[in-house]
Structure 1
Amino acid sequence: MLLSSSKTYDKYLEAEYGFNESIRSKLYSNNTLFGYVPNLEMTYSDSSDKITKNHKDGANRDDNKLQPFNKAYANLLECQDLQYSNNIEYSVSDQNFQIDYINMRRQLLAMDSPLAKEFTTNEEESKMSEMEIIEKRWFSFGTAAVWLKKEQCYVAYTRMIYSRHENRGSSYISVVVGQMFDKDWNEIKGRRIPFRDVKMPKEVKQLVQSLKRKLDISANCDALGHGTDAYENCATEINKNTFKIREQIDKLLDKYSIKYPTVVNIPFIMREHWNGPEDPHVILRQDKDGEEPVIIVNMNSHKDIKVHAMMPHRKIDPCVMFDIEGYDMKGFEKNWSPFFVPERVQSSDNYPGYIHFVYDYSPLQIIRCSLLTGKCKMIFNAQTAGLDNGKGYFGIIRGGTQYVSLPNVLPQLENTHIWVGFAKSHVDNCGCGDRFYRPTLIVLVETDGVYHLELVTPNVDFGKPIMGWNLKDTSCSGYNVLSPSSISNWAILDQDPITKRFEDYMVVTFSEADAISGRVVIRGILNYILQVYNKKKVRETLLIDEETVTIIQKASYCVAEKCKEECKSSAKDGITIE
């Protein structure tokens, strides 16, 4: 089905992506975004004015003839030559993600595990109320969510922190909390999703049904008279039996399904501090048999911090730790950006296939990892491919959301894959806070095994003031953090038959100040991306040559300078704390 304004198509969009007519009626702000294109086709005439001005022999040239780019003119390249600008619209939700800390904490303390005692300091906390413990020692941020078509809901995963030092920047243990939301972002509690890799036997189904029937058969205490001891004893006994039966049912169902909300069962080892999974991100794995979320976290291994994948809708070996074969990995691995290559996604509940990651942006490195064994292989390295001379291009960019393919109603290019995602820029001591983080929109392209960044758009602030680290105002004290967490869904609702412009919507989750988790609807991001090919002379393929390296180097410099410029501007706009 292509695009239509029919009710049939509207129902399709709602079922497929969770979008309905209400998304159009939101209040959107219009913003101009400046990006940089590292894969430009540069010609002699592109810099003609600058060359004429700077070189007296420029008059010997034919102005009307396009001549190849020459390294002699590389230094004449300006950021304006590589810059692309266009408009985009945002609608930031005024409802942030919330966690039921009391319920989640009670789940952790009730675990049948030695770890349960680590979530409390009995001597100190015995003198505190439960609410005081929550307010002082428990924190959360970084909610990442994806839409599940089959289940008609979002599943969202958030880092929840327990800090014995009562400081969100000093974690003792982190866990990942899973929640479920309907298409309007109302939380759904108590609902289950079956595991993909185990089936409930017929006998167990019959036992569950038998227990549920017992719940329906309740004694009538009314004949005993309200307010009498006999009535109260009767009601107490019924409640006690009901609790026991429900507990039996849950224990049976837990073997074959996951119940939301929940603390995701990710095993980890204990050290002195910074224990457990951190920085959860999520990506949707799809094959012919269905779909499932894959959570990406970093956490302690026996020696170092490693990246792990958790498949919460699987029962058998749902967690895997990644290692890159033949590669000297860092002692602290994090910020891997996941994506799927359609041809490498297997169609088997027992074998989940491969996942790809942007391992690093400086140089650009891509790895392919088995979701079964955790073994990874470096399949692309810009430096060894001759596209990075070791000067650290795009060194300020870190991982952010997952990468997603363009909406499937668009025609596919032969031998080429295109993904869109949000990384984050990281600049230190640039004028607004000790560290300055902002989302960076990136278009990632692969052609015949060669990967490159087609478009890099820094400083995507979603048109909103950013909460300061003090959680009181928009000051630049401490860290100044806006981090992208996930692309929850993305769909085209319509296309103008005359202008050919698309009406598309993307939902992105983000965190502010490592304390607040929110979401934003972006309208027109597809047009923003596609228009770059109309406004700039983008090469059809990436050529591995000296010219390309020079342009990539310049684009990297321009992105860094734009981030610093935004940082200084934020310092001027923010509230100053005396």
Structure 2
Amino acid sequence: MFESDLSFYSALLILCCPISIVFFKKFPIKGYTGANKVSLFLQCLIAILNLNILYSFINSLTITLGHDGSSANTLTIDPITTTQQQGHVDYTPIKVSGYTFKNQVATKNLQCDSIVYDQDLDLQVSQAVDLNKPEDLKFFRDKLNELRSLNNIYDLFFQDNEDEVEESILERKWYKFCGSANCYSKKGTRNNPTISVLAGQVFDKNWIELTGKKFPFSGLEFPTILPHYIDEGKEAEKVILGAEDPRVILHEYTNENGIRIQEPLIAFNALSTEVNWKRAMHIYRPLHDPHRIIRLSIENYAPREKEKNWAPFIDGNNLNFVYNFPLRILRCNINNGDCQKVSGPDFNDKSHENADQYELNYVSDLIDFNVNPEPWTPGKTTCSDGKSVLIPNSVAFIKDDYMSVTFSEADKTNKLINAKGWLTYITKMLEFTQERLNDESSDPVLESRLLSKCSTFLAQQYCALSKDTMGWDKLLDE
């Protein structure tokens, strides 16, 4: 009935104040008789009740005004302050090249060297800051242990032998994935978890974690396990359950009371019995409904065996995903998960029909933010491991020409870097490609396919080149 705490306490004040005044006038205290003792006791209770309601009303009003006036629900980070908080960290230059069409005509035999976009601009990045704390996994394990009585699926996180000690269990069987997913592997294999669950932590603008934090319209208190639904399937052996590859974006909407709400929206993939235990994409709004997850489905398109790595973005009030390349864009209903293709080739053929709402005009080559990624296999070097995984999790902050990005290495760390110069870079790139945007003779689908190919053009040589220029092996040996 009441979507906000403010409206609830406003209604209580309107209801209780007149009733209290009438009661005080109806039963005035005269003397110290037995009846007056009862009246005095009741009046004290009513006064305390009114004071509590008034306090809660003022607190809710302060929070609401803060969210409306200063976007307090939005995670805002001052890159300079963040750097100072962690100690002085210098910015270092970073080289970024890319590919884009301008005067070049797209042909199937095109050479990537002919469409290189290489601007000598002042792009810089800071050193990485580790957001994970050593005690995080123990905290969330303890939290899950408390919640086992409410949800027996959490019992799957505790399939350990009696002689195993907690320190060893946490070291061998527990992992933090993409910052927000806590994974448990009964067999201790990180790439084959038994079950994973999303957890939520709240940080201030200096990336100091806030404890006991609550948001309007939500009963969750952070840090906490997010109590989302986990599909346990129909098989006797329970493996690979829960959310994988979570990505968080900021979603804004106006509720039925006209209040502008900002909330985190989490997109992830998970196995689902709704599609015969195939891997499907889901969305989750923990502050809106902490238990419900919504499976995404594409209109007139049968579920594939594995759907994952859709890249979410908000355009106006619409939730969109970059589905794949050649560039396909999906627009999804946030309430029921129905998705429609709004741009790109059809799913049922390889035609070049395009809704022309979105086009891929530029793609960079590989970007490492001057980070030497942790190897996937302990004891291996970055280039000898055979698998180097550096994945951005979110753009946590962007203002003027500063940007903060969170990322994971080897699917286990959760770090943040600050960058500057990107706005200038993007502006210059848009100026460079402006003529191409209005060229009706261009072939967007073919260009998208070629740009995607060129983005990994130097992937095979990338590690060897970075090892020489960045001294990666030397850093690993130290």
- TM bucket, shorter chain: 0.7 to 0.9
Give the Cα separation in 2 of the matches to 1:70 and 1:81: 10
Give the Cα separation in 2 of the matches to 1:12 and 1:94: 26
- The residue number in structure 2 matching 1:312 is 286
Indicate how the Cα distance of structure 1 residues 131 and 382 shifts in structure 2: closer, same or farther if over 3 A, else same.
same
CA contact (8 A) 1:79 1:555 kept: no
Indicate how the Cα distance of structure 1 residues 538 and 511 shifts in structure 2: closer, same or farther if over 3 A, else same.
farther
Deviation at 1:261, TM superposition (A): 0.7
- The residue number in structure 1 matching 2:29 is none
What is the identity, as a one-letter code, of the residue corresponding to 1:518? K
Indicate how the Cα distance of structure 1 residues 14 and 41 shifts in structure 2: closer, same or farther if over 3 A, else same.
farther
- The residue number in structure 2 matching 1:340 is 314
1:192 aligns with 2:100: no
Q: Give 1 or 2: higher strand fraction.
A: 1
- The residue number in structure 2 matching 1:508 is 405
- Which of 453, 461, 478 lines up with 1:565 in the alignment? 461
Give the Cα separation in 2 of the matches to 1:113 and 1:385: 41
- Which of 422, 445, 449 lines up with 1:525 in the alignment? 422
What is the identity, as a one-letter code, of the residue corresponding to 1:128? E
Give the Cα separation in 1 of the matches to 2:221 and 2:282: 22
TM-score, normalising length: structure 1: 0.60
1:209-243 C-alpha deviation (Å, 9 max, x unpaired): xxxxxxxxxxxxxxxxxxxxxxxxxxxxxxxxxxx
1:388-430 C-alpha deviation (Å, 9 max, x unpaired): 769xxxxxxxxxxxxxxxxxxxxxxxxxxxxxxxxxxxxxxxx
- Which of 365, 372, 375 lines up with 2:335 in the alignment? 372
- The residue number in structure 2 matching 1:296 is 267
Deviation at 1:105, TM superposition (A): 0.9
What is the identity, as a one-letter code, of the residue corresponding to 2:266? I
In the TM superposition, 1:104-183 aligns within 5 A as: 104-111=140-147, 112-122=150-160, 124=161, 126-143=162-179, 158-183=180-205
1:282 aligns with 2:341: no
Q: What secondary structure is seen at the aligned counterpart in 1 of 2:321?
A: strand
What is the identity, as a one-letter code, of the residue corresponding to 2:263? E
Give the Cα separation in 1 of the matches to 2:440 and 2:170: 56
CA contact (8 A) 2:408 2:415 kept: yes
Indicate how the Cα distance of structure 1 residues 543 and 82 shifts in structure 2: closer, same or farther if over 3 A, else same.
farther
Aligned length: 384
CA contact (8 A) 2:382 2:472 kept: yes
Q: What secondary structure is seen at the aligned counterpart in 1 of 2:153?
A: helix
- The residue number in structure 2 matching 1:575 is 473
Deviation at 1:535, TM superposition (A): 4.7
Indicate how the Cα distance of structure 1 residues 463 and 120 shifts in structure 2: closer, same or farther if over 3 A, else same.
same
Indicate how the Cα distance of structure 1 residues 169 and 554 shifts in structure 2: closer, same or farther if over 3 A, else same.
closer
Indicate how the Cα distance of structure 1 residues 372 and 542 shifts in structure 2: closer, same or farther if over 3 A, else same.
farther
CA contact (8 A) 1:34 1:457 kept: yes
Q: What secondary structure is seen at the aligned counterpart in 1 of 2:319?
A: strand
Structure 2 residue runs of 5 or longer lacking an equivalent are 1-68, 255-259
Deviation at 1:505, TM superposition (A): 0.8
- The residue number in structure 2 matching 1:322 is 296
**Matched-pair identity in %:** 26
What is the identity, as a one-letter code, of the residue corresponding to 2:113? C
CA contact (8 A) 1:32 1:85 kept: no
Deviation at 1:367, TM superposition (A): 1.1
- The residue number in structure 2 matching 1:97 is 132
Give the Cα separation in 1 of the matches to 2:366 and 2:315: 28
CA contact (8 A) 2:281 2:295 kept: yes
Q: What secondary structure is seen at the aligned counterpart in 2 of 1:462?
A: coil
Q: What secondary structure is seen at the aligned counterpart in 2 of 1:32?
A: coil
Give the Cα separation in 2 of the matches to 1:534 and 1:366: 24
Give the Cα separation in 1 of the matches to 2:94 and 2:301: 42
- Which of 19, 26, 47 lines up with 2:78 in the alignment? 19
- The residue number in structure 1 matching 2:103 is 41
Q: What secondary structure is seen at the aligned counterpart in 2 of 1:480?
A: coil
Indicate how the Cα distance of structure 1 residues 29 and 281 shifts in structure 2: closer, same or farther if over 3 A, else same.
same
In the TM superposition, 1:4-15 aligns within 5 A as: none
- The residue number in structure 2 matching 1:153 is none
1:336-370 C-alpha deviation (Å, 9 max, x unpaired): 1111121xx2xxxxxxxx41111112x32111111
Deviation at 1:551, TM superposition (A): 4.6
What is the identity, as a one-letter code, of the residue corresponding to 1:305? R
Give the Cα separation in 1 of the matches to 2:465 and 2:151: 50
What is the identity, as a one-letter code, of the residue corresponding to 1:560? T
Deviation at 1:162, TM superposition (A): 0.2
- The residue number in structure 2 matching 1:266 is 228
1:245-293 C-alpha deviation (Å, 9 max, x unpaired): xxxxxxxxxxx52111111111112243110111111110123512111
Give the Cα separation in 1 of the matches to 2:461 and 2:386: 19
Give the Cα separation in 2 of the matches to 1:20 and 1:518: 14
CA contact (8 A) 1:34 1:86 kept: no
CA contact (8 A) 2:202 2:223 kept: yes
Give the Cα separation in 1 of the matches to 2:380 and 2:320: 39
CA contact (8 A) 1:194 1:258 kept: no
TM-score, normalising length: structure 2: 0.72
In the TM superposition, 1:181-260 aligns within 5 A as: 181-195=203-217, 256-260=218-222
Give the Cα separation in 2 of the matches to 1:479 and 1:485: 18
Give the Cα separation in 1 of the matches to 2:73 and 2:270: 36
1:302-345 C-alpha deviation (Å, 9 max, x unpaired): 02111111101113774211111211231111101111121xx2
Higher mean displacement: 318-327 or 464-473: 464-473
Indicate how the Cα distance of structure 1 residues 560 and 171 shifts in structure 2: closer, same or farther if over 3 A, else same.
same
What is the identity, as a one-letter code, of the residue corresponding to 2:412? A
What is the identity, as a one-letter code, of the residue corresponding to 1:89? Q
- The residue number in structure 1 matching 2:389 is 481
Give the Cα separation in 1 of the matches to 2:294 and 2:244: 15
Give the Cα separation in 2 of the matches to 1:331 and 1:386: 18
CA contact (8 A) 2:214 2:221 kept: yes
Q: What secondary structure is seen at the aligned counterpart in 2 of 1:36?
A: strand
Give the Cα separation in 2 of the matches to 1:535 and 1:489: 26
Q: What secondary structure is seen at the aligned counterpart in 2 of 1:340?
A: strand
